[in-house]
Amino acid sequence: MTGGAGYIGSHTAIELLAAGHDVVVLDNLSNGTRAAVEAIGRVANRDVPVVEGDIRDPVCLDRAFAEHRFDAVLHFAALKAVGESVAKPLRYYQNNVAGTVCLVERMAAHGVKTLVFSSSAAVYGDPGTMPINEDSPPDPTSPYARTKLIVEGLLHDTHAADPGWRISILRYFNAVGAHPSGEIGEDPAGVPMNLLPSVAQVAVGRRELLNVFGNDYPTPDGTGVRDYLHVVDLARGHVNALDYLATGTGVAVHNLGTGRGHTVFEVVRAFEAASGRQIPYRIAPRRPGDVVVSCADPGKAGDELGWTAQYDLRRMCEDLWRWQTTHPHGFRGGKA
């Protein structure tokens, strides 16, 4: 799995191992850490091989394919901060698009044609109707989202040229929370770009206050609405997708979300309840690329993958707080 030392990749590795799969992690450690892979091993009670390298490096990929026997690739390695993508679009196209081209080329060269791709609900942009189903027309509003949609297109084209490919495109909504063991969680480098890691760092004392980007949206309390999904639920969706691909060839697209949206202030109140801490905040200007509401229709994943989200916002906050209190400075700072 590419990006397996990162947040979603590490949680997915645990669920794959629990389901009886063997896992090899390939990561350039720009956002992931070796400590995360070590934590995977502790939770799963299994050693997990690591290849340190970049998906844009064909020599590294060839070496990985030569040293290990793969039946499938799960592709998580991507840059994902919307605001940064607006400021540095070429970095995102180089990593997310060119990197995937290199990966798919090397997969084909080594006869590995089963791929689960980490896409994003950001490809939908800001549609006029909710919830969003897989037939909603894409309308990405940021370079990050456009890179995801471009990769989806190249995967469809890859299958059209070679129908032997089996490809699952999973459009994630907002992954949050942490493994219930407290051993693995999100460990963003630098200032967090997403809401709940920011809230958790304020609660644990790493940051003074939370920036709320806009309070004048046409929503119940003026803040943006997102469909928050427990990362363990999301990870299990990948196991289901891999099982689904075993039934035949083709390209499948599925939303992974809960079907329920929460405003920023609803999330803040839920985290205050889980942590027993008050979250001070200030209102900041809207960020470029942000949409008003994003909420999934996950029915297709239920029907075809046999997957539904199990955990609610309360559980997401509780598990995240457990991780944050045991690792107040993330993996890099060690356990408290």
Residues marked active site are found at 144
Closest CA to 118 of 99, 131, 133: 99
Rounded Cα distance between 74 and 51, Å, is 14
Tokens of residue 323, six digits: 């991780």
Q: Give, in degrees to the nearest 5, the angle at Cα 112 between 109 and 117.
A: 110
| Distance from chain centroid for Cα 48 | 20
Edge to edge, the sheet with strand 225-226 lists: 262-263, 225-226, 293-294
Tokens of residue 254, six digits: 């599925």
Rounded Cα distance between 144 and 8, Å, is 17
- Provide the strand spans (E) within 181-309: 210-213, 225-226, 228-230, 250-256, 262-263, 281-284, 293-294
Please check whether residue 264 is in contact with residue 297, taking contact to mean a CB–CB distance below 8 angstroms. no
Rounded Cα distance between 241 and 246, Å, is 9
